Amino acid sequence: MPVEVVTFLFSNEYIRKSLQVRIIFQCAPFLKGLKAACMVSVEKEFCQEFQKVFEGTDMEYKILSENKGRRLVFLYRRNELSAYLRRDEVRNFLENYGYSCEDFESALGRLSERVCRYACENRGFPHEIGAFLNYPIEDVKAFIKQGGKGEIMNGYWKVYHNPRRARFIFQAYDKAQTSAVNEYLAGRSIREIGGRKRTGRSFFCV
């Protein structure tokens, strides 16, 4: 992303505080259908805007936790994320942390419970959250086993296996962000950038 574009977007007080700008910068791969879910941290007062922003789209959101006036919001496409969580390797991994992936609402509730508990204990995030964000399961497992150290590549997540695949995905995510920002600057809304109903749209199977 060119520095000039970022500077322009965040030089204006109104734009800098815009919920849509934050979503575009932090969640562009999700908006563009390359991920089934993402997260964004916003001030409490912004949360009432989410329903309006996503109205009429296939995108949903859940507030996972609140701390010091900020809320951690999980954005997702239900059908895609539910199908992903039911994959054998993902389901088997998450079951070790008490998740029931056959019950989507239960899984999200468990995630919120774990996130809140970690926040109260000042422990960051429960590391299995990477599975909900489409990070490769083998990398999530390695991150946990190695305590977040020893990665061979760092980008949208810490990479421990298959850096060639990760590099390809990182480049696609970067392009998604550039595309989303350009569309926003051209006057398109979140709904127009990534919120249309989709059929048969796939995301990266990592």
User: What pLDDT is stored for residue 191 in this prediction?
Assistant: 87
203 vs 201: CA distance, rounded Å: 7
For the chain, the first-to-last Cα distance in angstroms comes to 24
168 vs 185: CA distance, rounded Å: 26
Given a contact cutoff of 8 angstroms between Cβ atoms, the answer to whether 194 and 181 are in contact is: no
Q: What is the pTM of this model?
A: 0.87
Indicate the burial class of 161 (C-beta count within 10 angstroms; 0-12, 13-18, 19 or more): middle
User: What pLDDT is stored for residue 163 in this prediction?
Assistant: 97
Long-range contacts from 98-106, C-beta under 8 angstroms, 24+ separation: 99/128, 104/78
Query: Which residues, in sequence order, are bridge partners of residue 63?
Result: 73
Type of residue at 152: I
Angle between helices 78-85 and 88-95 (to 10 degrees): 80
User: What pLDDT is stored for residue 77 in this prediction?
Assistant: 96
Query: Which residues, in sequence order, are bridge partners of residue 158?
Result: 154
pLDDT along the chain (206 residues), means of 10: 53 60 91 96 86 90 90 96 96 96 95 94 92 96 96 97 97 94 89 64 50
User: What pLDDT is stored for residue 198 in this prediction?
Assistant: 45
